[in-house]
Chain A
């Protein structure tokens, strides 16, 4: 079992006043362990929605109609279907096993809390036991320390703290500490949790190469540059060493030099944390740089999946070809794709690309093409490519 995530037949619809929007239609894709899977396509083709479906965060009026998303938490264990598990279970996975980096770091961070507050929140939520153990060690050290006047006074408090931390270390959801954390003043007894989590946050910020992490942890988002904010968001996503990191156009709003740094950082962290990355982008150049495999999406479904070298050297689907031809290159006039993206409320029959496809035939208008493996690891959903393995790139 090499797959970490298997999406099968994912269908998402939006029920709007104008009608039903078929936002995702029968999406199938696999993400392997320790691989970077690139999801490319035009704006509005459903890339982000696929990512949100994985976290089960599709917002109203959107609704996941059918399909399943199998996620293999630990090697060997039975994979779970993220779409059928309980709300508590999916919350335990969000932010710890699967986390997400968003497009706009400025919008993704809450302006009224410090970076440290926002990152430590994840640590306090998902790594509570670990934090409590650290706090426990500190308290034990204090209790074993030199006896003096101050320690005599503080001892009862330390003992109470120790009791609470012990309980959390055994069971992060223990009732006692949870009640304590809700009572004003008394919850001050849990202050070391916050302190320890801030220390862990600072380590994380160091990991994402933020200079002077202790200072940045105390700053608010508006005091940082876009690149620094995105590093903060990445640190937040990596706080629990997730199995899958979803990066939704993380470099789109940054300038080119910062973009290169962030890409490098993601690559480096991926090997360090042994995570898989689902990298969403509309930039084929970026995808070529960072991804192992690429899936091309058009109007709510995938039309081609192939290893990254293969897709650039030998694109088979007419849409992929057109997309590659549209990439601006120095000295070459880019080819715009003819026609327009179909209205999601009135999708064309058959293959969704046929009105814009130069090689469309009668069958394309009538039947939705199915995904077929034309070369090892190279999947295409096109009536005209079936059997044609040696299509030339333009």
Chain B
């Protein structure tokens, strides 16, 4: 019976938290819409222009999309356009924006799928190891490594890695997403693109050559991302863990006669995870957003690369769509982080109705 009550408490929290997403998303859309209003109707009409010839009847386009209407009508139109999947035309890649996102997202997701667990689990593991052996050799080495990793500029590290693993060991870990030959295979009739994630498609198709090639190309960008971000998580985990290890309940756990391993991994770590979780969610969102510098250095065409191209070519629809995508992604990541909080820390579940 009581177990059921606990489940109810947790479910109430989830529902409350989910309900909050709606107004936040509304706020995000308002902000992006406000950005859009900085442009004149003529400029905004360019959103829907797919061919330079259409500029002749620009006033018609303005009329058609109601760009001179009152703001709230325009907002309604804009939102309904979005709900119909019409985000405008991306000049940079000559595709509708929606297609462009769907095109570039898998590449970035591929990076995020490999980098995130490495960063988060690795950071948590190393951080708690360092804290448990404070001021010992393990601690000094991981800390020195973390400071180095965190201080290395991404562009420098990426270029160095390319120089060594692409230049010196010629072609061991090349840039881009796939080699030319494998690219042809992937786009051939025989190869079904289920997800757009090359490594996953390769597994689903049972094509091990493509899998190997895709992993080979992923290696350097993933390493570059991991080295920098892992340092951050690790340092955070270490300080959070040290704080947790100084708490009274750790002394209680030791006074119970528990061994050091249980004290650290059961009693200290769970409490130390809470601040780390926030940053982990942030890092994940950042990675899915596309990591401009890394993608540019490795000529790895993902969302970051596309957003950067759009920005320098004044491709307004793409930039706005990217901003909207960004906002939604952060809102959703925060939602997941909050639910995980409640899973880890029972105090969070009580929320507004604290007893």
Contacts and interface: CB of A to CB of B under 8 A. Distances in A.
Interface of A: 55, 57, 91-96, 99-100, 102, 104, 107-112, 121-122, 125-126, 214-215, 218, 220, 222-223, 233, 236
19 contacts: A57-B251, A57-B254, A91-B259, A92-B257, A94-B254, A99-B256, A100-B252, A100-B255, A102-B248, A107-B249, A110-B249, A111-B345, A111-B346, A121-B258, A215-B2, A218-B2, A218-B3, A222-B346, A236-B256
A222 B347 contact: yes
B271 interface: yes
A94 B251 CA distance: 11
A122 B251 contact: no
Given A92-B257, A108-B252, 17 more contacts: A55-B254, A55-B255, A93-B257, A94-B254, A95-B257, A95-B258, A99-B256, A108-B249, A109-B252, A110-B249, A111-B271, A121-B256, A125-B257, A214-B2, A218-B3, A218-B6, A222-B346
A94 to B, nearest CB: 4
Chain B at the A interface: SS class: helix
B253 interface: yes
B355 interface: yes
Contacts of B254: 55, 57, 94
Contacts of A215: 2
B79 interface: no
A222 B252 CA distance: 17
Q: Which of B247, B257, B346, B347 has the most C-beta atoms of chain A within 10 angstroms of its own C-beta? A: B257
B133 to A, nearest CB: 12
B346 A125 contact: no
A125 B249 contact: no
B271 A91 contact: no
B contact residues, range:
20 to 34
Contacts of A110: 249, 252-253, 267, 271
A237 B86 CA distance: 66
A104 B247 CA distance: 11
B270 interface: yes
Contacts of A93: 257
Given A94-B256, A218-B6, A108 B346 contact: no
A215 B259 CA distance: 29
A215 to B, nearest CB: 6
B109 interface: no
Interface string B159-183: 0000000000000000000000000
Contacts of B346: 111-112, 220, 222
Nearest to A98: B255
Interface string B312-336: 0000000000000000000000000
Given A94-B257, A107-B247, A102 B252 contact: yes
Nearest to B247: A107
Given A91-B259, A95-B257, A122-B256, A102 B251 contact: yes
Interface in B292-309: none
A214 to B, nearest CB: 8
A107 B248 contact: yes
Given A110-B267, A112-B271, A95 B347 contact: no
The 3 closest A-B pairs by CB, nearest first: A107-B248, A95-B257, A94-B257
A119 to B, nearest CB: 10
B351 to A, nearest CB: 13
Nearest to B267: A110
A11 B156 CA distance: 55
Contacts of B3: 218
A289 to B, nearest CB: 25
B355 A109 contact: no
A102 B251 CA distance: 9
A95 B255 contact: yes
B51 to A, nearest CB: 59
A125 B2 contact: no
Contacts of B247: 107
A125 B251 contact: no
B14 interface: no
Interface in B83-113: none
A112 B270 CA distance: 8
Contacts of B267: 110
Nearest to A119: B256
B248 A104 contact: yes
B344 interface: yes
A108 B252 CA distance: 6
B256 A125 contact: yes
A165 B298 CA distance: 57
Contacts of A91: 257-259
A91 B251 CA distance: 13
B257 A126 contact: yes
